[in-house]
Amino acid sequence: MSKHPIRPDAQGYLDLMAANPRPPMGDESIAQMRVIPKEVMAQMIGAFDLPVGELGEVRDVVMPGPGGDMELRLFDVRAERGPGPVVVFYHGGGFVVGSIDTHAALAAEISRQLDLPVVSVEYRLAPEHKWPAGIDDGEAAARWIAENGAAFGREFTGLVLCGDSAGGNLTLVTALALRDRPAALPVILQLPIYPKADSSESYESYVLFGEGYGLSREDMAYFDRVYAADPHHWRHSPFVADLSGLPPMVMATAGLDPLRDEGRAFAAKAVEAGVQVVYRECTGTIHGFATYRKAIPSAQTDLDTIMAHARLLLAEAGAGG
């Protein structure tokens, strides 16, 4: 048992992973993953997460992006709805793996929890596309979605930026970019889930939880190498930016996550800058819990709590679904 208190279901998941180890992330393994059909990859991910479930509408849309056409997918618990906000969702995966399909269940659950349409973004990944390609795509998608609600059969009135892990990084960076050069619609809420928030310095949680807690230092080092971002630039380390004037934020972290302390630091700096922040640290659990809800059942309660905080801030803004 870990010297750090851990939930039994999270420990059970880690024990399962330890009994069935996968090779470390590398060029060869990524090349193999790239040729796995989307439906097969979705089935593999489905071993750990809950099903997508029933929705009112799922719609695929293609937008022009900085590097060519980009895929978007609408997840909406309602088949029809009146004017209102839209969630722009960025999947996690270390800027190297992950897709709309791997995170479909989480996107669908966010739509159910917030009663809002969710548009998931397929941004470019490393090593084929290095930084800032993915960041460029994330910002471009938010701007395009703000102007093109009709492409989804809806009328959008504001943006909620949301993402997990690497997608949490895109959330924070895009919020800064849209603060400085606003989109056609305002950003009314940021919802980063265990985000990569600062690569400009090292944090204790990286040492404490970099081995044996699901997200390894070895894999993170590989992601950093092939993504090749500038660790001191705000478009990769949003923590280094001036955070004043940002929209309200619900920041969620995991207590046993190598990224925990940089999420803590970002939330604290945002509070000091006058941003309205709700910080939720999900104790005793690990990075990635929001997409492990079948393997770690307590993660559903964590997600319920995070989304309840988001609903409260949206209600305060008069922008609930």
Catalytic residues: 165, 257, 287
CA–CA dist 264, 272 (Å, integer):
12
| Torsion 300-95-217-263 (CA) sign | negative
**Peptide bond between residue 5 and the one before it cis (omega within 30 degrees of 0):** no
CA–CA dist 278, 297 (Å, integer):
24
List, as one string, the DSSP characters of 49-76. S------SEEEEEEEEETTEEEEEEEEE
CA–CA dist 267, 252 (Å, integer):
9
Name the CA dihedral angle for 218, 223, 228, 233, rounded to a multiple of 10 degrees.
-100
Specify burial of residue 110 (Cβ count, 10 A radius: 0-12, 13-18, 19+). buried
User: Hey, what are 223's tokens?
Assistant: 């992601």
